[in-house]
Amino acid sequence: MNNNIKTAIVFIVGILLGVAGTGLYIHHCFARSWINSGNHNHAVDMLASKLNLTSDQKTKIEKVFDDNAPAVETVRLETNAKLQAVRDKTSAQIRLLLTSDQQQKFDALKTEWDKKRNTNDKGWHIPGLPPGAPPSGCPGTMCFSGPDSATPASK
């Protein structure tokens, strides 16, 4: 093989490895812990493996997650309401600084942003996770990131 073909192959392999590495890094960065995700099995399994839990401890820890889910949901709802109040205040202050033409464009942008924010359930806004309700029958609990993590419960 001549040197040009070898160089092209090395270059293409380098690009493919770079893209794959970047994809893995991005996935790792956006794989977040979910609170009230509807699936705590991954968290319990992780704790069991790291702490060598007995089956009795695992059962009790699952109950702790289930018992605390309503409190987590309450905090989430309160936080989202407070965040929305700050967003509304900020938008109102910005609108006052704009011309009428700019206000119309700003309103269109705000509508677009609100639509995007509302498509991701509960306002967690984690890129890469599909919007929508969790699998039916999932209680509100905590789950750590992983391939079997559920999406957040619907509003």
Q: What does the pLDDT read at residue 153?
A: 40
Q: What does the pLDDT read at residue 38?
A: 55
Where is average pLDDT lowest: 26-30, 62-66, 124-128, 140-144?
Answer: 140-144
φ and ψ at 86, to 5 degrees?
-65, -40
Mean pLDDT in residue range 82-98? 92
Q: What is the DSSP string of the chain?
A: --HHHHHHHHHHHHHHHHHHHHHHHHHHHH---EES-S--HHHHHHHHHHHT--HHHHHHHHHHHHHHHHHHHHHHHHHHHHHHHHHHHHHHHHHHTS-HHHHHHHHHHHHHHHHHHHHSGGG---TTSPPSPPSTT--S-EE-SSTTPPPPPP-
Residue-wise pLDDT tens digits, 14-69: 999 998 888 877 766 655 444 445 567 778 888 999 999 999 999 999 999 889 87
List the structure tokens of 3.
């040197």
pTM to 2 decimal places? 0.46
R_g (Cα) of the chain, nearest Å: 23
72-95: b (≥16 Cβ within 10 Å) or e: beeebeeeeeeeeeeeeeebeeee
Where is average pLDDT lowest: 32-46, 63-77, 80-94, 132-146?
Answer: 132-146
In order of 61, 121, 124, the CA distances from 118 in angstroms are 32, 6, 10
Q: What does the pLDDT read at residue 143?
A: 36
**Beta-bridge partners for 83:** none
